[in-house]
Every structure is written in C-alpha cells, then in structure tokens.
C-alpha cells in the first residue's frame, strides 16, 4: 500500500547579520592615528593643533598637579547652581502657563520673546548689574537653561491625552489629584527632554561665561591657554566639556529608565 508522503516543513535558520558596532570604536581611532601622523610629519603645526600624544601628556600633567580637578569642580558648581535655578524658574513658569489659561496669556508671550535673545549679548548687561564675580556666570547659565525646560514642560502639559483628563473627571478626581496623578506623569517624558537640552546648553554657555573676568574654571583654563598658544591645553579643556556632555546624557537616560518604567511603550523600547 502506498503511503502518502508529507514533505517536512523546510527548516528555518535565522540569518545573523554581521555586526558593525566595532566601527564606532575603529573610526575614532583611525582619526586619532591620522591626526598623530599629520602632526609628526609636520603637516599640522603644533601652533595650529597639538598632537594627540602632547594632548595626552598635558592631560596627565594637569591631572597629576590637581589643577584640572580644581577647575572642573568650580565649573560643575557653577553649572549645577545655574541649572538648579533654571529648573525651579522654568518649571514653575511652565506649570503656571500650562495649567492655567490666564497664566499662559501672562507668561508665554514674554518667554517667547526673551528666548530669541542671544544669551551672549547679555554678558555686558550682566556685568553691569551683577559685577564680575560668580553671580553673572551663574545667571548666564540660568538664562540659557531656563527656556528648554519651560518649553518642554509646557508642551508636555498641553500634550497630555484629553481622554485621560476626561476620564479623571468622570471618576471624580480633584484638580490637585488630576495634576499629580495624570498631568505631571504625562508631561514627564517631555520634561526630561527639556532637561537634556538644558544640560547641554548650560555646558556650552559655561564656556563663554568662564572666559569673562574669570580666574578659575575649565573655560578660564582654555582662555588662559589661548593667551599662551597652548593648543594642547585647549584641546584638553574641550575634551573635558565633551566628556561632561556625555556624562550628563547618561545620567538623564538613567533617570528616564527609573522614572518612565511605568510606560509600556518605554519598557518595550528599552534594550
């Protein structure tokens, strides 16, 4: 008797695509090697840009003497104080404008006008108003960082799903409970985006602020090195700022993982 033959299902083998993640490390190393070769062969003058080996030696020297840590701690203190004021002021203004139509009419228009002003142009005024001490430097960081926090939190509050607000009214939530349990959690993702932008901007403005009548800080270190044509020290200062930017971005991502763990979409997207 003939038996029916059932062809077996073809075996499916997962095709693994080659990973090119190593290029993230290779490409910077190639650039560093080309930079070193160009400096060693004289294509790049030391007065134009110091060689990577010289930059590394200067970094080690500044680190060993404690000078780099001294300037770094002062810069971090200025950035932290300016950012703290920006969070309080920007967050408070965003809450008033986002939760109240009257508050929006009073606050939003001036904020939209002032945010277009170049912060660097405020340096002469701040020196006249606050002198040449620490206050104008912290004020510059505050003014620069306040607008991303305000704009992001304001947009986050106004972008909360209207269905959730309607549901909260149906179940009888009070206004304070609505703000605490619905509006603020819904606006939190945008608030963290604003915090990330503010952190980056505060570091950029800090470079400018610390070159104005300063005697300490990474910006002062760069300015002093410029006067003596020390391009190696200038690059060290720029690398410190770059590392600070990377560090604060990692910190904000860590906050996102902790504060947004309740969001299913965030959990699914998190590796």
pLDDT digit string, tens, across residues 211-240: 777 888 898 899 888 888 889 999 999 899
Domains of the chain in start order, with CATH, are 54-261 (1.10.3720.10)
How does pLDDT run across 5-32, given as a tens digit for each residue?
Answer: 444 445 445 556 655 566 667 777 888 8
Angle between helices 67-99 and 218-227 (to 10 degrees): 130
**Residues 59-80: what's their mean pLDDT?**
91
Give the max Cα distance, the chain: 106
Q: Report the pLDDT value the prediction gives residue 106, as an integer from 0 to 100.
A: 92
What six digits make up the tokens of 32? 């560093």
d(CA 78, CA 208): 12
Task: Identify which has the larger pLDDT, 203 or 13.
Answer: 203
d(CA 153, CA 184): 9
Determine what percent of the chain is predicted with pLDDT higher than 90: 29
d(CA 185, CA 179): 9
Compute how many other C-beta atoms are within 10 angstroms of the C-beta atom of residue 235: 21
Task: Identify which has the larger pLDDT, 134 or 271.
Answer: 134
pLDDT at 1 over 60: no
Compute how many other C-beta atoms are within 10 angstroms of the C-beta atom of residue 62: 21
pTM for this entry? 0.76
Angle between helices 123-130 and 134-158 (to 10 degrees): 120
**Which band of pLDDT confidence, cut at 50, 70 and 90, is reported for residue 132?**
confident
**Which band of pLDDT confidence, cut at 50, 70 and 90, is reported for residue 185?**
confident
78 contacts 140 by C-beta, under 8 angstroms: no
């Amino acid at each position: 008797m003939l038996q029916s033959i059932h062809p077996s299902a073809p075996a499916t083998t997962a095709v693994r695509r080659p990973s090119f993640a190593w290029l993230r490390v290779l490409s910077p190393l190639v650039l560093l090697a080309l930079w070193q070769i160009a400096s060693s062969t004289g294509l790049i003058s030391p007065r134009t840009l110091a060689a990577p080996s010289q930059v590394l030696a200067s970094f080690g020297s500044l680190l060993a003497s404690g000078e780099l840590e001294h300037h770094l701690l002062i810069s971090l203190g200025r950035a932290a104080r300016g950012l703290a004021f920006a969070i309080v002021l920007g967050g408070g203004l965003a809450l008033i404008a986002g939760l109240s139509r009257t508050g929006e009419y009073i606050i939003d228009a001036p904020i939209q006008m002032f945010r277009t002003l170049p912060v660097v142009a405020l340096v002469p005024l701040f020196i006249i108003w606050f002198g040449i001490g620490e206050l104008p430097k912290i004020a510059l960081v505050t003014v620069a960082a306040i607008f991303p926090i305000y704009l992001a939190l304001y947009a986050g509050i106004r972008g909360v799903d209207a269905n959730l607000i309607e549901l909260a009214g149906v179940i009888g939530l009070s206004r304070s409970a609505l703000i605490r349990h619905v509006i603020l959690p819904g606006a939190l993702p945008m608030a963290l985006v604003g915090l990330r932008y503010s952190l980056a901007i505060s570091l950029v403005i800090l470079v400018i602020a610390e070159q104005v009548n300063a005697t300490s800080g990474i910006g002062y270190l760069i300015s002093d090195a410029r006067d003596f044509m020390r391009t190696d020290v200038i690059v060290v200062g720029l690398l410190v700022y770059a590392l600070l930017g990377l560090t604060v971005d990692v910190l904000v991502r860590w906050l996102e993982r902790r504060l947004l763990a309740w969001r299913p979409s965030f959990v699914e997207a998190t590796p």
